[in-house]
A and B are shown apart, each in its own frame.
Chain A
Amino acid sequence: SQQGEEDPQALSIQEGENATMNCSYKTSINNLQWYRQNSGRGLVHLILIRSNEREKHSGRLRVTLDTSKKSSSLLITASRAADTASYFCVLIYNQGGKLIFGQGTELSVKP
């Protein structure tokens, strides 16, 4: 399968805690992106990490990529209730430009 496998499928935390979501994949990628989807809404791009990068930061987001283990993680620090959403690991392969979405992690941040 070309899609990423995300873990956990659902995560419930308290406001202020950190949330970590993981993504594993099977075939070498060109880049990996994380998108967010609020319930019933559109998808919003969060961050892109290229295959030759190991870590990227954007505000409270930190993404790591380990190409030897074929895995990535998304860390949201000091979570807020507004971070409640589904988070998708999205893979882009060398041979094409289409984005392949994983199943997503449903994050619930309780105030």
Chain B
Amino acid sequence: EPEVTQTPSHQVTQMGQEVILRCVPISNHLYFYWYRQILGQKVEFLVSFYNNEISEKSEIFDDQFSVERPDGSNFTLKIRSTKLEDSAMYFCASSGDRPSSGANVLTFGAGSRLTVL
């Protein structure tokens, strides 16, 4: 069964450092997403991406965050200068369905745990 792959599974970084989280979505999917889950809290939407541009972003996704699809397979989330409160599990997801289709089912990766010290 096709999978969404995320690397690294766990990253520990110092406050103020840049972090890049990588995702390989399912190959024929066109819609990509990042969500995050702070320990013990709900899953929060960060950003959606389609056709090489951001479709929608939340208030969490400020100037410290950026996303990129550098080639035909990878989808990355960059945090420019990490803060303690960025510690969370970050989930990448992809979908073959248009958001407006009303059947927008996402396939999630296993997540990348980011710990900021």
Say yes or no: A31 contacts B103, CB within 8 Å.
Answer: yes
A88 to B44, CA, bound (A): 12
A41, B45: Cα distance in complex, Å: 17
Residue of A nearest to B109 (CB): A42
Q: How far is the CA of A67 from the CA of B23 in the complex (A)?
A: 36
Contact B104 A42 (CB under 8 A): no
A35 to B42, CA, bound (A): 13
Contact B99 A98 (CB under 8 A): yes
A42 lies within 8 A of B102 (CB)? no
Residues of chain A within 8 A of B108, CB atoms compared: 35, 42-44
Q: Does B75 contact A (CB under 8 A)?
A: no
Is the pair B110, A96 in contact by a Cβ cutoff of 8 Å?
Answer: no
Interface, chain B (partner A; CB < 8 A)? 4, 31, 33, 35, 42-45, 48, 55-56, 58, 89, 91, 93, 98-100, 102-111
**A and B contact pairs by CB, cutoff 8 A, 7 listed:** A31-B104, A35-B108, A42-B108, A45-B107, A92-B102, A96-B99, A101-B42
